[in-house]
Amino acid sequence: MARIGVLSISDGRDFVARDLVDHITTATTALAEALRKDGHEVIVAPEIVWTNELATSQARWLADQRPDLTIFNYAVWAFPHFTMLAAEATPGPLLLMANIDPAQPGMVGMLAGGGGLDQIGRVHARAWGDIEDPAVRERVLVEVRAAQAVRGLRGSTFGRIGGRPMGMYTAVANTDQWMRTFGVDVEEIDQWEIVRRSENASQTRVKEAREWLETKGNVHYDGKQLTPELLERQIRTYYAMRELIDEWNLDFSGIKGQPELTTHFCTMDIAEAFLNDPYDWEGPKETHVCATEADMDGALTMQILKLLSGDPVLFADVRHYHADKDVWDLCNSGQHATWYAARSDDPAENLAKTHFHPEVFFFPAGGASVHHLAAPGAATFARLTRRDGAYRMHVMRGDFELYDDATNEAMARQSTFEWPHAFTRLHVPATEFLGRFGSNHIHAVPGDYVAELRAVCDQLGVEFEGFGDAA
C-alpha cells in the first residue's frame, strides 16, 4: 500500500475558481476513490489551489504527510505558476494528472504546468484521461508502484559483509553515489562477524533446522564435502546473518563469501537462499534480499525488484548460452531462493524439488549448494550497471522454461549441475545481450515490471536501458 497525496489546481481568477469548485471536487473524489479501491492511502489537500499562497501552503501541508507520490490534479485550466510553486514545495515523486474533458481545459493546464517544470528540469510523470478507464488507472498505478519503491529505498541500509570478491569491479559501488542517487547507506561488516556469531545459535534450534531440510528437501551427504556437521555450520551462518540484520537494522545485504569463507569455513548458500526466501524452517517471514559475492549493484537491483513485486528475487550468473535453443542458463554459484523451484507459498512444494548437493571443487570448505530448476513462467530481468560513472538500468523480458527430465539434466550438466539453474529465453537477441550487458550477474522476478522499472528510473534520474521488446 502506497501513501498518495492529491493536490487539485485551478484558475487564478476568483470568480472563475469559485464556479469550478464542484467540477474539481467531483474529479478529485473520483481519482481518490479509484486509488483507494486499489488499496492505497490517499490524502487530499484540504483546499483547491487558486492563489500563489495556497499553492505553497497546500503543497507544504501535503509534503508534511510524507506521501510516496504526489499527484497534481488538473480538471480545469490551472494557472501554471501554481504548479511551479507547488512543485517547489513537493520533495518526492510527482505525477501530473489531467482529465480529458472538452468542456474544461484540464489538459491544457497539465501541459502548461508540465512545460514549466520541464524548463526548470523538474522530473515528473504525466497521465491523462478518465480514471475509471482501466488503461488510465494502470498508467497512474505504475507511477504509484514505482514511487513506493523509490521511497522505500530512501533511508534504507545495505549491509556489506566482506568486501570486493575475487577482483569483481562490477560488485563494488560508490557509497556517496548510492546516498545521492538512491538515498541508501552502506554498513560495512567484516565476515569475521559471521564466523564469530555462528557459535551463538542453540544446538537444539540448529538440529531442528537441519532435520527440516533433510525431511522437506533432498540432502545428498557424501561424508566429505557435505556432512550433517557442515550443514549445521551453514545453518548457523543463517542465524548469524539474522543477528546482524536485527542488530544493525539492515534492509538488505550481500555476503562476499569467496574466497575466505568458501575456502576455510563453509559456503553461504544456505544462508543466502533462506534469507531471500519468504520462509525458513521456523515458518513464514519477510524476504530479505541478500546478494551473493556482496554484489552491491546486484543487491540494489534486487531490492528495487522486491519493493515493486513483493516477491523473492533471483540472483544469477549469466552462466551459459545454449545456442541451439536460444536459451540461457542463469545459474548462481550455489543458491537461488528455494521459492523459485515451484513458486509455491508452501515451502514443502518448493523443497520437494530442491536438492542440497555437496559443494564442488571451487569451494573446499564445503557445505551444501542449493540445486533446483526454476519453474516455468514469464519474468522481468534487470540489472543496475554503470557506464563511465553514471547509473543505467538494463531491463528485459524473458521466460523461464523447462523441458523433459533428460533434457533438463543434460543442460544442467553442461555447466555446474550442483548449482541452481533458471533456463531462460530472453526477449533479446544473444548478440545484443552479450554486446551490451554490463555485468556478470542478472536479477529477476516473475511478472511484467518493465513499465514500473522505467518509471523508477525516471524518478531516480537513472538511464533506463531496455533490451529487445523492453526497449
Helix intervals (H) in 120-216: 134-153, 175-182, 192-197, 203-216
Total number of residues binding ligand CVU (CB under 6 A)? 7
User: What are the angstrom distances between the C-alpha of 191 and each of 174, 254, 258, 282?
Assistant: 20, 11, 11, 25
**Could you say which of 440, 447, 463, 468 contacts ligand CVU (CB under 6 A)?**
440
Collapse the DSSP code of 400 into the 3-class scheme (helix H, G, I; strand E, B; otherwise coil) and give the result. strand
Using CB under 6 A as the binding rule, whether residue 317 contacts ligand CVU is answered as: yes
Q: Minimum Å distance from CB 336 to ligand CVU?
A: 12
| Residue showing the smallest CB distance to ligand CVU in the complex | 333
The minimum distance between CB 421 and ligand CVU, in angstroms, equals: 13
Residues 234-263 interacting with ligand CVU (rule: CB under 6 A): 258
Least spacing, CB of residue 316 vs ligand CVU, in Å = 9
- The binder of ligand CVU chosen from 212, 321, 362, 417 (CB under 6 A): 362
Q: What is the DSSP letter of 49?
A: B
Q: Are 159 and 248 in contact (CB under 8 A)?
A: yes
User: What are residue 166's phi and psi, to 5 degrees?
Assistant: 50, 40
Which of residues 214 and 260 has its CB atom nearest to ligand CVU in the complex? Answer: 260
H-helix or E-strand containing 158?
Answer: strand 156-161
Smallest separation (angstroms) from ligand CVU to the CB of 234: 17
CA distances from 404 to 97, 260, 371, 373, 398 (A): 50, 38, 17, 12, 20
For ligand CVU, the closer of residues 316 and 351 by Cβ is 316
CB of 226 vs ligand CVU, minimal distance in Å:
18
Comparing CB distances to ligand CVU, the nearer of 116 and 259 is 259
Does 293 sit near ligand CVU (CB under 6 A)? yes
From the CB of 301, what's the least distance to ligand CVU, in Å?
14
- The single-letter DSSP state of residue 375 is P
For ligand CVU, the binding residues in 332-361 under the rule CB under 6 A are 333
Rounded Cα–Cα distance for residues 457 and 382 (Å): 12
- Regarding 415 and contact with ligand CVU (CB under 6 A), the answer is no
- Residues between 180 and 239 with contacts to ligand CVU, criterion CB under 6 A: none
425 SS3 class = strand
Task: Give percent helix, percent strand, percent coil of the chain, each to the nearest 5.
Answer: 40, 25, 35
Instruction: Provide the minimum distance between the beta carbon of 368 and ligand CVU in the complex, in angstroms, as a whole number.
Output: 16
In the complex, the residues that contact ligand CVU under the rule CB under 6 A are 258, 293, 317, 333, 362, 440-441
